[in-house]
């Protein structure tokens, strides 16, 4: 093996050390930008991998880390202390791995799972439209044991959703405050005041060391930016006219901020794209949009943006111009609480958020429907996409379903341990050094520098 190829392998492996070993769905919206993107290829048909589990009166958002999926299954309305446990299930089999009741003080609300990251599941009994204040709890993702609970309280709930800083710290944006909690201790890192429009739907998003929320301002609403390290307020956007908003911002890979600012009034119901120039946040374009609440939207791998129009159809929007490129038919059953995800091939996975007419859909990149299935009272019970493109949708009763299409061989998992890590690079290098044609990743019958590049490309795509 020549020195150039050897150096390339070692440098690349070092750069990728610590890369996530599986595709996660960390929080409502999937990631810190809340843009519903995944590097996995989701199921092309509604093949049920497993179904069933603890019954629930309301469908709540599942989150995924590794081979575990976490959610709340609610068996009673408040007051209760042991009827809304956090439940961990095996992503591959649906077996229940553990459950944990979050302690309840008088007046506390139903437990909500805020997210999962770095082996910690975050939950709280706060919420009820930000009328209930409670601590944040961190649970061990493997065992369910309580690691800590915060002395500082929050009023964040299910529909707000939380996000995570790169070091795993929890960013909880509620009706009147944004708080950063230390992931290892639960200590309050900082607190910043804000003025959300409608309590209970006040979550934020993170991009490039900044926290973004949408707040009420004179004349309507504005996107506000805060420093992620200190919580210092920095700038607010141009005004988006309107009286109320019940959706959160999402952010594209290029930093574009998207907001569905709607209130069931066509004179002010628009989907906005905004640019953060550093000194200002300005409106790039707006498009007529439909009234939805507690929704999460998505962005395809080519940058196309997806939202809900006034006929409750999904519209595909050019990110540069705001031109509507395509539309589905109006979603069967409505779309008042639509939530979306986009896989690495540009396919969409959508729940309509409805109750009696709840449904999950999949569309291809041209917005042709691939499949759909009824999910009674789906509410905010998905989508969540994890390793191997496993799609988890949670309904009411015992209607929890994991959809997974056939999983092909993962060539980049060179050591065959089911994870993509630095050790796959080392195993690949050993095979290359030994002249093993298993390392012929460009399949030209020779071992060259291009095999390293082909291997890295497959590693980047994930499994």
pLDDT tens digits along 333-350: 999 999 999 998 999 999
* Distance separating alpha carbons of residues 247 and 337, to the nearest angstrom: 10
* Mean pLDDT of the 422-451 span: 84
pLDDT of 10 above 50: no
- Each domain of the chain, given as residue ranges in start order, spans 3-15+423-461, 20-403
Quick one: three-class SS letters along the chain? CCHHHHHHHHHHHHHHCCCCCCCCECCCCCCCCCCCECCCCCCCCCCEEEECCCCECCCCCCEEECCEEEEECCCCCCCCCCCCCEEEEECCCCCEEEEECCCCCCCCCCCEEEEEECCEEEEECCECCCCECEEEEEEECCCCCEEEEEEEEECCCCCCCCEECCCCCEEEECCCEEEEECCCCCCEEEEEECCCCCCCCCCCEEECCEEEEEEEECCEEEEEEEECCCCCEEEEECCEECCCCCCCCEECCCCCEEEEECCCCCCCCEEEEEEECCCCEEEEEEEECCCCCCCECEECCCCCEEEECCCCCEEEECCCCCCEEEECCCCCCCCCCCEEEECCCCCEEEECCCCCCCEEEEECCCCCEEEEEECCCCCCCCCEEEHHHEEEEECCECCEEEECCCCCCCCCCCCCCCCCCHHHHHHHHHHHHCCCHHHCCCCCCCCCHHHHHHHHHHHHHCC
Tell me which residue has tokens 């569309």: 363
Mean per-residue pLDDT of the chain: 92
Q: How confident is the model at residue 224 (pLDDT cuts 50, 70, 90)?
A: very high
pLDDT band, very low/low/confident/very high, at 252 (cuts 50, 70, 90): very high
Confidence of residue 434 (pLDDT cuts 50, 70, 90): confident
* pLDDT mean over 117-139: 97
pLDDT of residue 440: 85
Mean pLDDT of 454-458: 81
- pLDDT band for position 308 (cuts 50, 70, 90): very high
Return the CATH number of the domain spanning residue range 20-403: 2.130.10.10
Residue 12 has pLDDT above 60, yes or no: no
pLDDT band at 446 (very low <50, low <70, confident <90, very high): confident
pLDDT at 411: 77
DSSP letter assigned to residue 425:
H
The predicted-structure confidence for 116-126, as pLDDT tens digits, reads as follows: 999 999 999 99
In this predicted structure, the answer to whether residue 247 has a pLDDT above a threshold of 90 is yes
pLDDT at 14: 43
Res. 289: pLDDT tops 80: yes
Flag whether pLDDT at 21 surpasses 90.
no
pLDDT band with cut points at 50, 70 and 90 for residue 23:
low
pLDDT, mean of residues 420-436: 85
When pLDDT is averaged across residues 203-209 and rounded to a whole number, the result is 98
What's residue 204's pLDDT?
98
Please say if the pLDDT value at position 463 is more than 90. Answer: no
The answer to whether 51 and 390 are in contact (CB under 8 A) is no
* pLDDT above 50 (res 11): no
% residues pLDDT > 90 (the chain): 81
User: Comparing 12 with 128, which gets the higher pLDDT?
Assistant: 128
Helix 422-433 / helix 449-461 crossing angle, nearest 10 deg: 160
Would you place residue 454 in the very low, low, confident or very high pLDDT band (cuts 50, 70, 90)? confident
Q: Which whole number is the average pLDDT over 157-177?
A: 97
């Amino acid at each position: 093996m020549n020195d150039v190829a050897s150096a390339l392998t070692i440098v690349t492996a070092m750069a990728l050390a610590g890369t996530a070993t599986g595709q996660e769905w960390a929080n409502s919206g999937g990631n810190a930008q809340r843009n519903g993107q995944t590097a996995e290829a989701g199921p092309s048909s509604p093949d049920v991998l497993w179904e069933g589990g603890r019954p629930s009166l309301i469908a709540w958002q599942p989150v995924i880390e590794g081979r575990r999926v976490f959610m709340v299954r609610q068996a009673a309305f408040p007051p209760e202390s042991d009827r809304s446990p956090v439940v961990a299930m095996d992503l591959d089999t649906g077996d229940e791995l553990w459950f944990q009741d979050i302690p309840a003080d008088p007046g506390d609300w139903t437990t909500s799972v805020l997210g999962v990251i770095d082996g910690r599941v975050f939950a709280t009994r706060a919420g009820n439209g930000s009328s209930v204040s409670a601590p944040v709890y961190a649970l061990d993702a493997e065992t369910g044991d309580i690691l800590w609970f915060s002395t500082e309280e929050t009023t964040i709930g299910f529909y707000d959703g939380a996000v995570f800083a790169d070091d795993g710290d929890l960013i909880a944006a509620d009706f009147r405050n944004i708080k950063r909690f230390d992931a290892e201790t639960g200590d309050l890192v900082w607190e910043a005041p804000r003025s959300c429009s409608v309590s209970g739907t006040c979550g934020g998003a993170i991009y490039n060391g900044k926290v973004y929320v949408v707040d009420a301002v004179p004349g309507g609403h504005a996107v506000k930016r805060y420093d992620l390290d200190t919580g210092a307020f920095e700038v607010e956007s141009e005004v988006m006219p309107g009286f109320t908003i019940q959706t959160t911002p999402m952010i594209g890979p290029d930093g574009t901020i998207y907001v569905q600012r709607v209130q069931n009034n066509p004179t002010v119901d628009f989907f906005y794209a905004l640019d953060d120039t550093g000194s200002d946040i300005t409106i790039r374009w707006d498009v007529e949009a439909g009234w939805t609440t507690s929704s999460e939207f998505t962005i395809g791998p080519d940058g196309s943006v997806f939202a809900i129009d006034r006929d409750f159809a999904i519209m595909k929007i050019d990110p540069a111009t705001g031109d509507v490129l395509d539309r589905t038919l109006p979603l069967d059953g409505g779309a008042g609480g639509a939530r979306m995800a986009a896989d690495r091939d540009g396919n969409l996975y959508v729940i309509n958020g409805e109750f009696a007419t709840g449904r999950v859909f999949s569309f291809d990149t041209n917005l042709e429907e691939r499949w759909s299935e009824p999910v009674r009272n789906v509410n905010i019970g998905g989508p969540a996409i994890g390793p191997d493109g496993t799609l988890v949708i949670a309904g009411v009763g015992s209607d929890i379903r994991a959809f997974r299409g056939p999983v092909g061989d993962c060539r980049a998992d060179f050591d065959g341990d089911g994870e993509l890590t630095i050790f796959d690079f080392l195993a690949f290098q050993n095979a290359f050094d030994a002249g093993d044609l298993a390392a012929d990743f460009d399949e030209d019958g020779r071992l060259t520098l291009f095999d390293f590049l082909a291997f890295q490309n497959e590693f980047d795509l994930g499994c």
